[in-house]
Chain A
Amino acid sequence: DAMVIQNPRYQVTQFGKPVTLSCSQTLNHNVMYWYQQKSSQAPKLLFHYYDKDFNNEADTPDNFQSRRPNTSFCFLDIRSPGLGDAAMYLCATSSGTGDNEQFFGPGTRLTVL
């Protein structure tokens, strides 16, 4: 089945220790998104790629970076995680042509100790 996969589902890191979250998709979609969702809050868009074009949200901290080496994979790098970065990180994809649905992965829950 075509899908959006995120690994790992649960990630524990230490304060200040870099961490990378991964997302892959078999949908062959042009657009990949990263959202941060804290408890009882809305998903907040961090950035997205349209093919290789990177689009950063104005209020996304510099601590968050992303890489998209090919169509299928996209990574979220948190350079120096703080306690406030503990959240669910959601990856989503869309075809990018016209009005279209975003398909979400299951998310990675990040804990910062």
Chain B
Amino acid sequence: GQNIDQPTEMTATEGAIVQINCTYQTSGFNGLFWYQQHAGEAPTFLSYNVLDGLEEKGRFSSFLSRSKGYSYLLLKELQMKDSASYLCAAYILTGGGNKLTFGTGTQLKVEL
């Protein structure tokens, strides 16, 4: 089966750096997405990693190690508006078409 794990909750201080980890065990793995979801809203795309290594995009960076089944999302210079759920999702190749399998999300709370 497909298994994706990430911490349930994290708390960090405004202006700080936080790393949200994600581990996965999936078949047909073809990449790793990170999405941000504010309460009651749809997920919005943050990053996509298909190769090993670090992808940097402004304050957000994402890392992937396929051999270890591991990814992380790094958020720098935290702002209050970054308080949200962060969803890790594995991009899976299947016979019926490609699809995303989501983790349960990490609820990040940014405090003053």
Residues of A participating in the B interface, judged by any CB pair closer than 8 Å: 31, 33, 40-45, 48, 50, 53, 55, 88, 90, 96, 99, 101-107, 109
Contacts and interface: CB of A to CB of B under 8 A. Distances in A.
Q: Tell me what chain B mostly uses at the interface: helix, strand, loop, or mixed.
A: strand
B43 to A, nearest CB: 5
The 6 closest A-B pairs by CB, nearest first: A42-B102, A104-B42, A55-B96, A42-B104, A101-B45, A43-B102
A33 B99 contact: yes
A95 to B, nearest CB: 11
B42 A102 contact: no
Contacts, number: 53
B44 interface: yes
Interface of B: 4, 30-31, 33, 40-45, 48, 50, 87, 91, 96-105, 107
Q: For B99, B103, B105, which residue has the most chain A Cβ atoms within 10 angstroms?
A: B99
A45 B104 contact: no
Contact of B41 (A33, A43, A106): A106
B97 A101 contact: no
Contact of A45 (B33, B87, B100): B100
Contacts of A96: 97-98
14 contacts: A40-B107, A42-B105, A43-B102, A45-B101, A90-B42, A99-B31, A99-B48, A99-B98, A101-B48, A102-B33, A104-B42, A106-B41, A106-B42, A107-B42
Contacts of B87: 42-43
